[in-house]
Amino acid sequence: MNSRPRRLGGVLGGMGPVATVDFLRKVIALTQAKTDQEHVPLIVHQVPQIPDRSGAIAQNSDAPLAPMLEGLRRLARAGAEYAVIPCNTAHHWYPILADAQPLRLLHIADAVEAELQLRNRSTDRLALLGTRGLLRSGFYADRLKPRGTRFVAISETLQTLVDLAIEAVKSGNSPSATKHARIAVQEAQRSGAETVVLACTELPVALAECAVLEDCIDSTLALARSCVVHSFAGDSCPVAGAEI
C-alpha cells in the first residue's frame, strides 16, 4: 500500500456538525490502513454558521452561497487539492461553487449513483428522503434520470417524518431522530420504493443504530467512498467494499 495518498482533500463541513463528524468517521472506516500515515489526509472547514440551505431554496435566496464559497477558497489556500461537501441540499449551488473556486468539487449525487451501481440496487422505484429544499432543487433527478430512474412520490406525511428526524439530529434528540427516520424509511417502502436513498446527511446519523439502515443507500457513506477513491487515484485504492 502507498504510505501516503496522492491528494489532500478539503471538507466543507458544519452542515450540520454531527453529519460532518459522521462523514469523517466513514472515511476512516473505508480506508484499509494499518498505520496513521496510510489514512486519507483531509483539511476540515467546520463552520456551522452557514445559513440554512433548505430554507434558502424555499425563499429563492442565495444566502448560503457566499459563505460556502469562502469556505472552499479557504480550503484551497490551505492546500487542499479537491473538496467534498457532506450536505446534500448544499449541492443546489454546486454549478456555481464548482466554477467559482479552484478545487475540483466531488458531487454527492454522483457518489450515490456509484453506490447504487456498487450495490447493484434498482433505480426503477427510488425514494429520495431529504430536505424540502433538496426535493425542490431537483438536482438528483437531473443526475439520475439518464439511468432510467423512476422516483416514488414523497407524501406530506412522509416528508414530515423526514423533517422531524432531521430536526431531532440537529437538536441532539437521538431517540426521536431514530424513531422518525425509521418510520420514514418503512413508509417509503410501503409506498412502493425498491430503493431508499438517505439524501440528507443527518438521516444516516439518525439510523446509525437501526437495522433499517442496511436497506438504504447512505449518501454520507457514498461520498466518503468517493473521497477515499479520489484521494488514492492513480494508485491501488485501499477502500473497503460495499459494507463497512
Q: What's the number of domains the chain is made of?
A: 2
Is residue 243 assigned to a domain?
no
- Nearby residues of 134 by Cβ (< 8 Å), 6 or more positions away: 54, 57, 88, 89, 92, 128, 140, 199, 200
Same domain, yes or no: 77 and 22: yes
Same domain, yes or no: 88 and 57: yes
pLDDT in tens, 70-111: 999 999 999 999 999 999 999 999 999 999 999 999 999 999
Percent of the chain with pLDDT over 70: 93
Same domain, yes or no: 214 and 226: no
Is residue 4 assigned to a domain?
no
The grid coordinates listed for 80 are 487542499
Torsion angle of alpha carbons 166, 169, 170, 173, nearest 10°? 130
As a whole number of angstroms, the distance between CA 129 and CA 166 comes to: 10
Across all residues in the chain, what is the average pLDDT? 93
Same domain, yes or no: 100 and 79: yes
Same domain, yes or no: 215 and 122: yes
pTM, 2 dp: 0.94
The grid coordinates listed for 226 are 468517493
Same domain, yes or no: 126 and 190: yes
pLDDT of residue 5: 54
Same domain, yes or no: 119 and 136: yes
Hey, what amino acid is at 193?
A
As a whole number of angstroms, the distance between CA 241 and CA 147 comes to: 23
Mean pLDDT of the 126-153 span: 94
Same domain, yes or no: 113 and 163: yes
pLDDT in tens, 194-233: 999 999 999 999 999 999 999 999 999 999 999 999 998 7
As a whole number of angstroms, the distance between CA 194 and CA 40 comes to: 33
Question: Which comes out higher in pLDDT, residue 166 or 234?
Answer: 166
Same domain, yes or no: 113 and 97: no
Same domain, yes or no: 98 and 126: no
**Is the confidence at residue 29, as pLDDT, over 80?**
yes
Hey, what amino acid is at 6?
R
Q: Where are the beta strands (DSSP E) in the chain?
A: 9-13, 42-46, 82-84, 104-105, 126-129, 195-198, 216-218
Helix ranges (H only) for 119-215 are 132-137, 139-144, 156-171, 174-190, 202-206
Q: What are phi and psi of 44, to 5 degrees?
A: -110, 125
**Is the confidence at residue 14, as pLDDT, over 90?**
yes
Mean pLDDT of the 7-23 span: 97
Domain range for 214 is 109-219
As a whole number of angstroms, the distance between CA 240 and CA 34 comes to: 13
Same domain, yes or no: 80 and 49: yes
- Nearby residues of 120 by Cβ (< 8 Å), 6 or more positions away: none
Longest dimension (CA), the chain: 50
**Is the confidence at residue 163, as pLDDT, over 90?**
yes
pLDDT of residue 147: 79
Same domain, yes or no: 226 and 181: no
